[in-house]
Structure 1
Amino acid sequence: MALEKLHKVLDDIVKKNNYINPTVAVNPISTGGANYSSSLYTIIVSESGKEDLQLFAKVLVTNENLSAQLPMKIVDLEQFFYVDLLKKYENIQNAHNLPVEKRLIVPKYYGCYPKEPVAQTIVLENLTVKGFTTHDRFKSIDWDYAAKAMESLAKFHALSMAYSENNPVEFEQVVEKIKGNGEMIAGILKRMYQQHINTTLAVIPEKHKNKLQKYLDTEVNTELMFKNKSLQRPILCHGDYRPSNLMHRVNENGALEVIPVDFQTIQYNSPLYDLMYFIFTGSDEKFRREHFQDLTDHYYQELSNALRSLKLNPDVIYPKTTFELELKEYLPYGLVTAIYSLPIITVETENAPVIRDDASIEVYDSFLQTKTGPLYPERMNGVINDFFRWGIIE
């Protein structure tokens, strides 16, 4: 069924790109446990006298049971980003004549097949043929990578702020459109968090267990973490901004380039939602000890630069004092993120979970109770150590 839907999309793409009698080679690929919700493919469309078309396809693993429970189909949301929202952002960038280096860069969109509840498909350019790759999820990010990732995130967030300033009524319509999807994701993440508290307690030293449990019981407000729409400046967040959803390469001039992908979890929340998520899904204790403050400062500086390039004053739109307040308020979300995500992010490839064809929302609960890998205790204890060192847990 998945390949049938994919070939229907490819037929349309071939016609739109004026291929008459091409050869279409479709090859499945594996992410080594970095992707759980989709089947992935690379496609080469070739024809004599024409340049090969290098494509990447993502086919959502779902069914009528699961699809009926989703307020907005994931592929529909990603299609909405590429077809509608991205055009708004491009118009904003064009209106300010932004040079390439100041623009948000994302993969080129070719087509989508969201018409059925099974095998929903989106087709993009294949960035790997241009030298892009994903970060090794078993390794911590380094400064160069993290800094570039923050530059891309800042551009993405600045465009949301500009959109809300320039077209507030239209922006609110977008927020309403994606509202149900955000609430659904928040519900899943909250259950993941609750399920993995015991997983966390099982690997930390005995001396920390009671204090951590007390902190989670009395100080962590999951309603704030998962449903709050920002203290001051709500935006359209990426929602899953982690190294596995970024592509990077080193250009000929030696500069690192990072491009965000996977816009199927866009939601309305604080900029700190994406920032904390990136840091605590992609870094180890050593990185945070050396670079946490520098990285959050770098993000805000890049956001300020991006806002100024769009003729917006960061001191008015999102002052540094507001950012620092939200950083303090959202810091516990870093711990929450680690609790629900690290068991999955650090799982060994052979133990990576797979969504079955009969999946439902409830199936995610058991699906995400996966066997943890050997890296998990080190990464999780590193996060706990941070929160003791910062004096957040006492």
Structure 2
Amino acid sequence: MKDDTRLCLKDTEPNNDKILKNYAECIAKREKFVKYDITVAKITKKGDGYLATPYEIDIKGATADGEKEVNLFVKNIIANDTFGGFFSIKEAYNRECYFYKELSKIFSQLQEGKVPKGDKLNMVKGYEESTTEAIIMDNATKKGYKTLNRMEVVAPLKFIELALEQLAKIHGLGFVIHEEMPEYFNDNIAIKEFPMIFNEEWKKIARSAINITLKNLNPVPRKKAEGFVPKILSKLEEYYKEKSLIRTLCHGDFRVMNLLMKEINGEVTEVIPIDYQIIYYGCPATDVLYLLYGSTDLNLRKQHHKRLINLYYDTLSRFLKYFEIDVKDVYPRKEFDAAIERRSEFGLMMALYFYPLFFAPDDDVPEITEDFTTKHYKLDSEIMKKVEEIIEEFEEAGLL
């Protein structure tokens, strides 16, 4: 092993070589390595993200205290600045860089000495070397964490329970910052609107995505769903940007792919939220419904929906007590229930619009440079069964 850094690149893009090496060398020096090797590998798994080229970086060597290894995960920004003219990739990286370099530290400081270790918000460690072009984190997969397969139609119940508890803590810390650091909250969180621009370009993409779902439906449910399409185009923006309801810091993309989990003997024991690229100031009920309709099926919701809603709110209430905040003062139960009720159509919006984006077959996952309006592909039968269940559920509720 050489005393100087040796970079072993594997399938990396030439224009990324220098910056990846600089990241690793800076971290190696700050971690007090005296000699070390660095290996960098591009992760080529398709379909797991539209906005990043992911890499694993391993630093192995010696410090004055002995042998040491640091495992990193890097999300490197793709070249394009915008997605379809309605979503800024640069802004997504700005938000996630802000989370890992600043907001996560505030979360940790607020919880220190108040929240028991086992009840804190779970977070992956971010590194100071992160920039608005590359987010650098601990590689949690080396510690036994993993994500569910993105094509997982129904997540395990325990996974959903743990995820809702974590979501309540994200929202709760937003309320805590508002109460304890109001000036900071107003200057840094309240200014973050949902980053999607609901313009004509977005409408074209939305119509294309919805048409993919409709073409995959059987004739009867397709006819029922077609009349609902105009509502998606008009109300989705309202749900994300409505200012009349109580708001706090929201995750914005709280689904299976953005949640790490650990299992012991086949049982999910821990969940860690990741991917804070869409954090915004909005209605927390939207995050809750986004998870429930993105990761459960009709059977699970029929059996557990009310209990899961209660679990989220009870966790929020309990968590806020650590900071001597009464949930009734910041988010009364009647306000939460009203927000859930006012977003009663959100689940069907997800099924028709988001599902073809979430569950595109690996070979059909749209590249950022593609014209999505020309795409058409067959969705998995289990996914379409889930869509038809949601249509049935909404018809029974009188919403179709």
**TM-score after normalising by structure 1:** 0.87
Which of 184, 188, 196 is the equivalent residue of 1:184?
Answer: 196
C-alpha distance in structure 1 between counterparts of 2:340 and 2:297, whole Å: 19
TM alignment of 1:120-139, pairs within 5 A = 120-139=133-152
Structure 1 vs Structure 2 CA RMSD:
2.7
Matches within 5 A, 1:28-43: 28-43=42-57
Find the counterpart in structure 2 of residue 19 from structure 1: 33
Q: 1:171 aligns with which of 185, 188, 191?
A: 185
Give 1:149's aligned residue. 163
| Structure 1 counterpart SS, 2:34 | coil
The amino acid of 2:115's aligned partner reads: L
In 1, Cα distance between equivalents of 2:89 and 2:218: 41
- Assess if the C-alpha contact under 8 Å between 2:51 and 2:89 holds in 1: no
Unmatched segments (≥5 aa) in structure 1: none
* Equivalent in the alignment of 1:89: 107
Q: CA deviation at 1:383?
A: 1.7
Match of 1:307 in 2: 320
CA distance in 1, matches of 2:41, 2:249: 34
Deviations 1:4-49 (A, max 9, x none): 3222211211111112331101112244422222111112100143
Q: Does 1:56 align with 2:62?
A: no
After TM superposition, give the deviation of residue 253 of structure 1 in Å. Answer: 12
SS in 2 for 1:178: coil
Q: Which residue of 1 aligns with 2:281?
A: 268
**TM-score with structure 2 setting the length:** 0.86
Contact 1:133 1:247 in 2 (8 A): yes
The aligned amino acid for 2:278 is: T
What is the deviation of 1:66? 6.7
The answer for the alignment partner of 2:380 in structure 1 is 374
2-side partners of 1:254 and 1:285: how far apart? 22
Q: Specify which of 174, 177, 183 is matched with residue 160 of structure 1.
A: 174
Distance (whole Å) between structure 2 residues aligned to residue 342 and residue 232 of structure 1: 27
Letter in 2 for 1:56: F
Q: Deviations over 1:283-325 (max 9, x none)?
A: 2222222222221121111111111222111122111111111
Q: Residues 216 and 379 of structure 2 are in contact (CA less than 8 Å); yes or no, is this contact kept in structure 1? A: no
2:123 is aligned, of 106, 110, 132, to 106
Structure 1 residues 134 and 217: alpha-carbon distance in aligned structure 2, compared to 1, 3 A threshold:
same
Report SS of the residue matched to 1:40: strand
Higher RCO (CA 8 Å, separation ≥ 6 residues): 1
1:386 equivalent to 2:373? Answer no
Going by fraction, where is strand more abundant, 1 or 2? 2
Check whether the contact 1:250–1:256 (CA below 8 A) recurs between aligned residues: yes
Greater share of helix: 1
SS at match of 1:303: helix
8 Å CA contact 1:28, 1:40 repeated in 2: yes
1:354 aligns with one of 367, 379, 382? 367
TM-aligned CA distance change 1:189 to 1:259, over 3 Å: farther
Q: Distance in 1 between matches of 2:81 and 2:326?
A: 47
Matches of 2:227 and 2:395 in 1, distance apart?
13
Q: Could you say what secondary structure the match of 1:326 adopts?
A: helix
* Aligned partner of residue 338 in structure 1, secondary structure: helix
User: Cα 1:28–1:325, aligned 2, differ >3 Å: closer, same or farther?
Assistant: same
- 5+ residue gaps, structure 2, are 1-14
Give aligned pairs, total. 378
Paired letter, 1:12: C
CA distance in 2, matches of 1:392, 1:172: 37
Deviation at 1:58, TM superposition (A): 0.9
* Conserved 8 A contact 1:5-1:121: no
Q: Which residue of 1 aligns with 2:12?
A: none
Q: Shift of residue 252 of structure 1?
A: 8.4
Contact 2:73 2:137 survives alignment (8 Å): yes
Residues 217 and 384, structure 2, Cα contact 8 Å, conserved in 1: yes
Given that 1:246 and 1:258 are in contact with CA atoms closer than 8 Å, whether structure 2 keeps it comes out as yes
- Give the conservation status (yes or no) of the 8 Å contact 1:243–1:282: yes
Deviations 1:327-383 (A, max 9, x none): 01112122212222211222222222222xxx4xxx56448x452322332222122
Distance in 2 between residues matched to 1:381 and 1:253, nearest whole Å: 30
Q: Match of 1:238? A: 251
Tell me if structure 1 keeps the 8 A contact 2:209–2:357.
no
Matched AA of 2:93: V
Distance 2:205 2:299 in 1: 26
